[in-house]
């Protein structure tokens, strides 16, 4: 979860980081915004990995590019606190 940057129009927004596993919880119904009802059961929704040698090679290449990119470049427009967090993760 993250909160919008102070002094920006998004300051009062709460961002939920879900990495593709969550769903929208506010929906349009009859022209109004409503809370979506909770699911009875949440199933795993990610696709199964494909074991293709070319795809794996591409993933390794993307990983290496991301790994070599300076944190300052990746987090250029982000709060400076994220730089220390990202450095810790590396």
pLDDT at position 64? 87
pLDDT at position 42? 66
Q: How confident is the model at residue 19 (pLDDT cuts 50, 70, 90)?
A: low
Residue count of the chain? 90
Is residue 69 a contact partner of residue 86, using CB atoms and an 8 Å limit?
no
Q: Which long-range contacts (CB under 8 A, 24 or more apart) does 62-69 make?
A: none
Nearest to 19 by CA among 1, 3, 35, 4: 1
Q: What is the tally of structural domains in the chain? A: 1
- The pLDDT tens digits for 35-83 are 888 777 766 655 555 556 667 678 888 888 888 888 888 888 888 888 8
Which range marks the domain in which residue 72 is found?
A: 2-89
pLDDT at position 44? 60
């Amino acid at each position: 979860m993250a909160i919008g940057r102070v002094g920006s129009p998004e300051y009062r927004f709460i961002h939920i980081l879900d990495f593709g596993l969550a769903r929208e919880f506010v929906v349009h119904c009859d022209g109004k915004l409503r809370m979506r009802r909770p699911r009875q059961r949440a199933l795993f929704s990610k696709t199964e990995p494909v074991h293709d040698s070319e795809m794996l090679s591409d993933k390794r290449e993307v990983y290496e590019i991301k790994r070599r990119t300076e944190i300052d470049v990746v987090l250029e427009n982000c709060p400076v606190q994220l730089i220390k967090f990202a450095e810790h993760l590396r």
